[in-house]
Structure 1
Amino acid sequence: MQANELIQSYTHKQLITKTIHMPAGYVDDFHSHPWHQIVFPFKGLLQSSIGGKSIIVPHNAMLYIPANTSHKSVAVTNTEFLAIYLNPDVWVEYASEAKSCLVTPFIKQLILLLFENEMSQQSESNTTHLLLVLRDQTVMANSYDIPLLLPTDKRLLAIFKQLKQQPDLSFTLKEWAKKVGASERTLSRVCAKEFNQSFSLWRQNIRLVLSLQLLDSKGSIQDIALELGYTSDSAYIYAFKKLFNQTPSKYRRDSLAHNLTLKI
């Protein structure tokens, strides 16, 4: 059953939970819900557009979307996410602005507990207390802004799709331009227009954001660096730290050590 159908069927509830799978490339075009929504990808990457702004949501982040806010989501990779729909008319008052934030181990456990409680029909008061804590934690959490990956330009999109499959490709801008039938100047211009950054920086960000998933594997930092096309693990660590303000090892330790064990 679609989310809005569920909402119409359970208007008396404080929340509704849903697990959603989106294969790579799937587009959930612009739509809205009468309830607030929390999106938490526990696997994969989403790129969401809200109110003229686009946001990357990896599997260590969540996105809060206020009720009646038009939004669009694209699965950058195969993605599974937990969705929580929050009734705006009862018990808890939520924020009116969209927010993407880092998910702490504590927030992860709160999300899981809300899913379990909703299925087991826990008391309303218990649910209210958990929702109040989740709301406060979301308000206090640091915003998590990751550079965008998915372009609208068809030539850049062709490059993105190939880099997603082979992130270690070392083609120069000139080689990419020839491959997609454009000039170097055109590729540079459209990249600057879409992402406000150079082609080389966009390409590096693709590698780094995709590496978030690789860090969820048992591969060594050195193996991941080589798979991404870096000449050494130190070069990868330096670039990762510059973008995410932490080393890959710290990300792996802090963000992935408390993965959810879903019972849904």
Structure 2
Amino acid sequence: MLANELIKTLPERQFLTKAMLMTAGYLDDWHEHSWHQIVFPVKGLLQSNIDDICTVVPHNAMLFIPSDRIHKSEAITDTEFLAIYLNPNQSVDYPAQPKSCLVSPFIKELILLLFQQSSTSSSDSSITNLLTVLRDQIVIAPNYEIPLLIPRDKRLLAIFSQLKEQPDTSFTLKEWAKQVGASERTLSRLCANEFGQSFSLWRQHVRLVLSLQLLDSNLTVQDIALELGYGSDSAYIYAFKKMFNQTPSKYRNDSFGHRVMFNSLCPSN
């Protein structure tokens, strides 16, 4: 059942939950909900737009979307995510502004607990307490914003699509320009207009964000560096740390085994 249909069916509930799978490239185009929403990818990468805000949400982060805010999401890779819909007309006052934040071990366990509670007959007071804690955790959680990744221009989009499939592609700007039927100057201008950075920095940005999913695999950091086209693991580690303020190994260690959790909540997948 679609989220808005579920909300209409159970308007008295304090919250509702839904586990979903979006295949790579799937676009959940502009829409809104009368309830607040939490989007928590447990595998893969989402790019979400809320009004004029655009951010990439990886599997160690979540996005809070206030009620009646128009938004859309696109799966950069095959993505499994948990959604919680929060009734704005009940006891808990939620933030008025959207927020992308890291998911701490505590928030992760709280989200899992709410999924478990959604299928039981827990008392209203106990649910209110859990949701109050969730609200407080959203408020105090560090912001975690990874900027725009998927381009709008069809020529940059063609480059992005190839980089997503073959991130180690080592074409020069001149070679990419020939590949997509544009001049080097045009590609440079498009990157500056869409991302506020050079083509080479945008390409590195794409590679580093795609590596977040690779870090959720059994590949070594050295193997990931080579798959992304870096000459050495040290070059990859340096670039990753500069962008995410931590090493790839720390990112990997701080991520959690969400796969089993998703399957248990959405067994049909």
TM-score by length of 1: 0.98
Q: Which runs of 5+ in 2 are unaligned?
A: none
Is 2:105 aligned against 1:105?
A: yes
Once residues 132 and 8 of structure 2 are traced to their aligned partners in structure 1, the CA distance between those partners, rounded to angstroms, is: 23
Number of the residue aligned with 1:87: 87
- Deviation of 1:259 after TM superposition, in Å, equals 6.6
8 Å CA contact 1:32, 1:67 repeated in 2: yes
Secondary structure in structure 1 of the residue aligned to 2:13: coil
Is 2:29 aligned against 1:29?
A: yes
Once residues 166 and 92 of structure 1 are traced to their aligned partners in structure 2, the CA distance between those partners, rounded to angstroms, is: 46
Superposition RMSD on alpha carbons, in Å? 1.1
Number of the residue aligned with 1:124: 124
8 Å CA contact 1:109, 1:260 repeated in 2: no
Once residues 203 and 256 of structure 1 are traced to their aligned partners in structure 2, the CA distance between those partners, rounded to angstroms, is: 28
Secondary structure in structure 1 of the residue aligned to 2:30: strand
Counting only pairs closer than 5 Å after superposition, residues 51-70 of structure 1 correspond to structure 2 as 51-70=51-70
Number of the residue aligned with 2:77: 77
Once residues 259 and 147 of structure 2 are traced to their aligned partners in structure 1, the CA distance between those partners, rounded to angstroms, is: 24
| 138-147 vs 115-124, greater mean Cα deviation | 115-124
Number of the residue aligned with 1:208: 208
- Deviation of 1:261 after TM superposition, in Å, equals 2.2
- Deviation of 1:258 after TM superposition, in Å, equals 7.1
Number of the residue aligned with 1:168: 168
- Give the aligned length: 264
Once residues 35 and 151 of structure 1 are traced to their aligned partners in structure 2, the CA distance between those partners, rounded to angstroms, is: 29
8 Å CA contact 1:108, 1:260 repeated in 2: no
Once residues 147 and 230 of structure 1 are traced to their aligned partners in structure 2, the CA distance between those partners, rounded to angstroms, is: 22
8 Å CA contact 1:147, 1:205 repeated in 2: no
The amino acid of 1:71's aligned partner reads H
The amino acid of 2:11's aligned partner reads T
Once residues 53 and 258 of structure 1 are traced to their aligned partners in structure 2, the CA distance between those partners, rounded to angstroms, is: 27
Once residues 134 and 110 of structure 1 are traced to their aligned partners in structure 2, the CA distance between those partners, rounded to angstroms, is: 7
The amino acid of 1:191's aligned partner reads C
The amino acid of 1:244's aligned partner reads F
Once residues 258 and 35 of structure 1 are traced to their aligned partners in structure 2, the CA distance between those partners, rounded to angstroms, is: 25
Secondary structure in structure 2 of the residue aligned to 1:25: coil
Counting only pairs closer than 5 Å after superposition, residues 148-227 of structure 1 correspond to structure 2 as 148-227=148-227
Residues 165-218 of structure 1: per-residue CA shift (max 9 Å, x gap): 000011000000000000000000011100111110110011111111111111
Number of the residue aligned with 2:235: 235
Once residues 42 and 166 of structure 1 are traced to their aligned partners in structure 2, the CA distance between those partners, rounded to angstroms, is: 23
8 Å CA contact 2:43, 2:259 repeated in 1: no
Secondary structure in structure 2 of the residue aligned to 1:120: coil
Once residues 117 and 49 of structure 1 are traced to their aligned partners in structure 2, the CA distance between those partners, rounded to angstroms, is: 30
Q: Which runs of 5+ in 1 are unaligned?
A: none
Once residues 138 and 230 of structure 1 are traced to their aligned partners in structure 2, the CA distance between those partners, rounded to angstroms, is: 36
Once residues 68 and 258 of structure 1 are traced to their aligned partners in structure 2, the CA distance between those partners, rounded to angstroms, is: 29
8 Å CA contact 1:47, 1:74 repeated in 2: yes
Once residues 188 and 49 of structure 2 are traced to their aligned partners in structure 1, the CA distance between those partners, rounded to angstroms, is: 23
Once residues 135 and 121 of structure 2 are traced to their aligned partners in structure 1, the CA distance between those partners, rounded to angstroms, is: 20
Residues 41-68 of structure 1: per-residue CA shift (max 9 Å, x gap): 1011111111111111111110000000
